[in-house]
Amino acid sequence: MHAELGNAIAIRFALPSAELAPFVTTYYHTQATTSPHEQVLEDYLHPEWPNLRFMDSGWAQSAVGDDPLAYSPAFSVTGPTSRATKFRITTGSSWGIGLMPLGWAALIDSPAFDYADCITDGNTDPAFTAFRPLAKALANSSGEHAEELALIEAHMASLIPREPPANGAMRAIGAINAALVDPELSMVSDLADRVGMNIRSLERLSKRAFGFTPKLLLRRQRFLRSLSQFMMDPSLKWLSTLDYQYHDQAHFVRDFKRFMGMSPSAYAKLDKPFLVAAAQARMAIAGEAVQGLHDPTNAAESGES
């Protein structure tokens, strides 16, 4: 585990066990403490894989893309995102569970596409019934970090299939995910060849398990590789962070506006009380600054509780 302090925010990340690593990216606990002079902190989450969040105390507001801010439910589910999530938080704490695409496919009986770029109340949506006992257990726990982490790990372990996924679709999801984190891969046709699928089948499975088309996923991964460099060192100029697949800075600016809803220069001027701390803490424990770059082939090898 690792703790990093960002502007009045403490974030602790933990890796899942090796058994759970193909399905879960990280567990993370956030404790926000706001001052009388700044009672609400605001930030933007970059595009991610799905996340389950359980609020222990305090309140939060969030919105994906251009949606209006709304109060977050005590147990919220954010599907895979291709747009920035704006959020506001006050003094309080919460737990989060990041899901790999394989985790969504194995644990949630609904297409990821139906929840893409959406925030859902996990206590009312039947797709997330299996996680409600965990939400209740966390709400009734002592608040001790190790106890709550153990509750999360035990509940997730109870949901995961005992044997590795054996059917063709599950194997293909893992192969697609592994290919997506390869910085050398840039074309949908190359992705289809890599995983041994025709493009039409790839597109169907991609939307069902990943939430988006292969073309948008590849574009998102290219953007995340550049953004992660900036998150680790905000003093860098954008030109120093650009992925080699970008033709020029204008190409990157178009992608930045598509995924973050603002220009790179506007984003650079914003305070980032949560994201800078989260990127550094995530890198220290998981080896990647952003969730979307987690390599599923390395996860099982490095997974630990």
Please determine, for residue 297, whether its predicted confidence score (pLDDT) is greater than 90.
no
Please answer whether residues 187 and 202 qualify as being in contact, where contact means their C-beta atoms are separated by less than 8 angstroms.
no
Q: Report how far residue 213's alpha carbon sits from residue 150's, in angstroms, rounded to the nearest whole number.
A: 36
What own/partner pairs with CB < 8 Å and gap ≥ 24 does 54-57 have?
54/94, 54/95, 54/96, 54/134, 54/135, 54/138, 54/139, 55/92, 55/93, 55/94, 56/92, 56/93, 56/94, 56/95, 56/138, 56/139, 56/143, 57/91, 57/92, 57/93
Q: Which pLDDT score, from 0 to 100, does residue 1 have?
A: 44
Could you tell me the CA-to-CA distances from 85 to 42, 155, 237, 260, 281 in Å, in that order? Answer: 11, 27, 24, 8, 19
Instruction: CATH 2.60.120.10 in the chain: give the residue spans.
Output: 2-163+272-302
178-190 average pLDDT score: 93
43-51 average pLDDT score: 96
77-99 average pLDDT score: 96
Question: 168-261: what CATH class?
Answer: mainly alpha
Q: Which pLDDT score, from 0 to 100, does residue 255 have?
A: 93
Reported as a pLDDT band with limits 50, 70 and 90, residue 165 is low
Q: Report how far residue 72's alpha carbon sits from residue 110's, in angstroms, rounded to the nearest whole number.
A: 21
91-106 average pLDDT score: 96
Reported as a pLDDT band with limits 50, 70 and 90, residue 163 is low
Q: Report how far residue 246's alpha carbon sits from residue 264's, in angstroms, rounded to the nearest whole number.
A: 14
Please determine, for residue 144, whether its predicted confidence score (pLDDT) is greater than 90.
yes
- 187: which DSSP letter? -
- What CATH code would you report for 2-163+272-302? 2.60.120.10
Q: Report how far residue 149's alpha carbon sits from residue 142's, in angstroms, rounded to the nearest whole number.
A: 12
Q: What is the pLDDT of residues 221-270, one digit of tens each?
A: 999 988 888 777 766 676 667 877 887 888 999 999 999 999 998 998 99
Please determine, for residue 304, whether its predicted confidence score (pLDDT) is greater than 50.
no
Range from 45-49, 61-65, 163-167 carrying the lowest mean pLDDT = 163-167
22 token code pair: 């193909």
Q: Report how far residue 280's alpha carbon sits from residue 289's, in angstroms, rounded to the nearest whole number.
A: 6
Please determine, for residue 32, whether its predicted confidence score (pLDDT) is greater than 70.
yes
Q: What is the pLDDT of residues 198-209, one digit of tens each?
A: 999 999 999 999
Please answer whether residues 297 and 29 qualify as being in contact, where contact means their C-beta atoms are separated by less than 8 angstroms.
no
Q: Which pLDDT score, from 0 to 100, does residue 301 have?
A: 47
Instruction: CATH 1.10.10 in the chain: give the residue spans.
Output: 168-261
Q: Which pLDDT score, from 0 to 100, does residue 268 have?
A: 87
Q: Which pLDDT score, from 0 to 100, does residue 95 have?
A: 98
Reported as a pLDDT band with limits 50, 70 and 90, residue 279 is confident
Closest-CA residue to 210 (of 189, 179, 187, 185): 179
Q: Which pLDDT score, from 0 to 100, does residue 305 have?
A: 32
Please determine, for residue 141, whether its predicted confidence score (pLDDT) is greater than 50.
yes
Please answer whether residues 95 and 28 qualify as being in contact, where contact means their C-beta atoms are separated by less than 8 angstroms.
yes
Strands (E), the chain: 2-6, 9-14, 24-32, 41-45, 51-57, 60-64, 70-71, 75-78, 85-89, 92-99, 119-121
Q: Which pLDDT score, from 0 to 100, does residue 299 have?
A: 54
Q: Which pLDDT score, from 0 to 100, does residue 5 have?
A: 40
Please answer whether residues 8 and 16 qualify as being in contact, where contact means their C-beta atoms are separated by less than 8 angstroms.
no
Q: Under 8 Å CB-to-CB from 285, ≥6 apart: which residues? A: 1, 2, 13, 14, 15, 26
Please determine, for residue 13, whether its predicted confidence score (pLDDT) is greater than 50.
yes
Please determine, for residue 303, whether its predicted confidence score (pLDDT) is greater than 60.
no
Q: Which pLDDT score, from 0 to 100, does residue 228 have?
A: 85
Helix (H, G, I), strand (E, B) or coil at 198: coil
Q: Report how far residue 145's alpha carbon sits from residue 89's, in angstroms, rounded to the nearest whole number.
A: 20
Please determine, for residue 135, whether its predicted confidence score (pLDDT) is greater than 90.
yes
Reported as a pLDDT band with limits 50, 70 and 90, residue 160 is confident
Helix (H, G, I), strand (E, B) or coil at 254: helix
Between these two residues, 67 and 36, which has the higher pLDDT value? 67
Please answer whether residues 156 and 24 qualify as being in contact, where contact means their C-beta atoms are separated by less than 8 angstroms.
yes
